[in-house]
């Protein structure tokens, strides 16, 4: 499962780094972004090639972005955690894995470009509805009410700040994560995302790598929080019983 995750992470790198270049994500050989030389197959082994090459292009010696191994190892680790938490292969598990993979892709898109592509959000919406349709205890009216209540607050922030405090892509993602997790998990996931973003911002401020006006990829923290709440849903539901 870890090796599968590395392979998927390698494909995600193609999707991320070819975004906005008009290059196909399924056609064409991989090339160095600096010297445009074709990368040999033995230099495309996920994770390992990065360290074997010492993070530099074999031909021009230009430094390779550390985002490549981070995407690969993150995807592999998260997929492995999901498998360990639900070792029985089922339609729900496969669909959950697909949703988590989309969230990983969203997280890294937001980190690199500060945007969340609508095409990925559309896939996430389809997967979320499909998952709920396969769930016996899905209560759609209750899900929609709690989701709308959650999203409305952030929509007001977006309108009041004219998009300066939070992005439209974040609003769409909040709606989908609210629908996916349901009450009270969706509210707790939002709080978790806010805390993660706050801690990250404080660290950057302490290290003087950011100012109070520096943008942060809030969508990435929303995605991370949602992934945590999906993988550890059973454990977290047991904890919430003491508060709700």
Lowest mean pLDDT among 9-18, 79-88, 139-148: 139-148
Same-domain pairing of 47 and 1: yes
Number of structural domains found in the chain? 2
Does residue 210 carry a pLDDT above 60?
yes
Q: Is residue 118 part of a domain?
A: yes
Where is pLDDT greater, at 33 or 173?
173
Q: Is residue 80 part of a domain?
A: no
Residue 63 forms beta bridges with which residues?
Answer: 56
Same-domain pairing of 92 and 129: yes
Same-domain pairing of 61 and 137: no
Taking alpha carbons only, the member of 174, 177, 163, 166 closest to residue 131 is 177
Residue 86 to residues 116, 140, 157, Cα–Cα distance (Å): 28, 24, 37
Taking alpha carbons only, the member of 150, 103, 146 closest to residue 124 is 103
Same-domain pairing of 128 and 227: yes
N-terminal to C-terminal alpha carbon distance within the chain: 36
Where is pLDDT greater, at 22 or 14?
14
Q: Say how far apart CA 113 and CA 68 lie, in whole Å.
A: 15
Does residue 226 carry a pLDDT above 80?
yes
Same-domain pairing of 25 and 110: no
Taking alpha carbons only, the member of 232, 239, 226 closest to residue 150 is 226
Residue 56 forms beta bridges with which residues?
Answer: 63
* pLDDT for 183: 83
Same-domain pairing of 15 and 126: no
Range of 54's domain?
Answer: 1-73
What are the pLDDT digits (tens) for 62-74? Answer: 888 899 999 999 9
Contacts of 243 (CB under 8 A, 6+ apart): 184
Q: Is residue 78 part of a domain?
A: no
Give me the chain's average pLDDT, please. Answer: 87
Q: Is residue 123 part of a domain?
A: yes
Same-domain pairing of 225 and 164: yes
Contacts of 160 (CB under 8 A, 6+ apart): none
Q: Where are the alpha helices (DSSP H) in the chain?
A: 2-17, 48-52, 67-85, 91-113, 118-134, 140-161, 168-181, 185-206, 218-231, 233-240
Q: List b or e across 173-187, with b for residues whose CB sees 16 or more CB atoms inside 10 angstroms.
A: bbbbbbbbbbbebbe
Mean pLDDT for 118-135 is: 90
Q: How confident is the model at residue 79 (pLDDT cuts 50, 70, 90)?
A: very high
Domain boundary, last residue among 19, 49, 73: 73
Does residue 174 carry a pLDDT above 80?
yes
Q: Is residue 195 part of a domain?
A: yes
pTM here is: 0.90
Q: Is residue 210 part of a domain?
A: yes
* pLDDT for 242: 65
Q: Say how far apart CA 108 and CA 194 lie, in whole Å.
A: 18
Domain boundary, last residue among 18, 46, 73: 73
Domain boundary, last residue among 45, 73, 101: 73
Same-domain pairing of 208 and 159: yes
pLDDT cut 70: percent of the chain above it = 97
Same-domain pairing of 35 and 102: no
């Amino acid at each position: 499962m870890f090796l599968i995750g590395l392979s998927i992470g390698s494909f995600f790198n193609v999707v991320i780094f070819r975004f906005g270049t008009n290059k196909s994500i399924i056609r064409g050989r991989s090339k160095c972004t600096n010297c445009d030389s074709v990368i040999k197959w033995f230099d495309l082994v996920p994770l390992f090639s990065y360290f074997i090459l010492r993070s530099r292009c074999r031909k021009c010696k230009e430094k390779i972005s550390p985002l490549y191994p981070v995407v690969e190892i993150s995807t592999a680790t998260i997929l492995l955690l999901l498998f360990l938490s639900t070792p029985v292969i089922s339609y729900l598990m496969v669909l959950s894995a697909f949703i988590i993979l989309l969230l990983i892709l969203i997280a890294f898109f937001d980190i690199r470009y500060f945007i969340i592509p609508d095409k990925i959000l559309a896939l996430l919406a389809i997967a979320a509805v499909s998952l709920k349709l396969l769930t016996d205890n899905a209560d759609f009216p209750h899900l929609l009410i709690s989701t709308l209540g959650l999203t409305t607050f952030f929509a007001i922030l977006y309108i009041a700040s004219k998009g300066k405090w939070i992005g439209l892509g974040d609003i769409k993602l909040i709606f989908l994560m609210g629908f996916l997790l349901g009450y009270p998990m969706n509210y707790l996931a939002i709080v978790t995302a806010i805390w993660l973003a706050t801690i990250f911002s404080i660290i950057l401020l302490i290290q003087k790598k950011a100012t109070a006006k520096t943008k942060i990829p809030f969508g990435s923290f929303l995605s991370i929080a949602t992934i945590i709440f999906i993988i550890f849903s059973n454990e977290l539901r047991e904890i919430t019983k003491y508060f709700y």
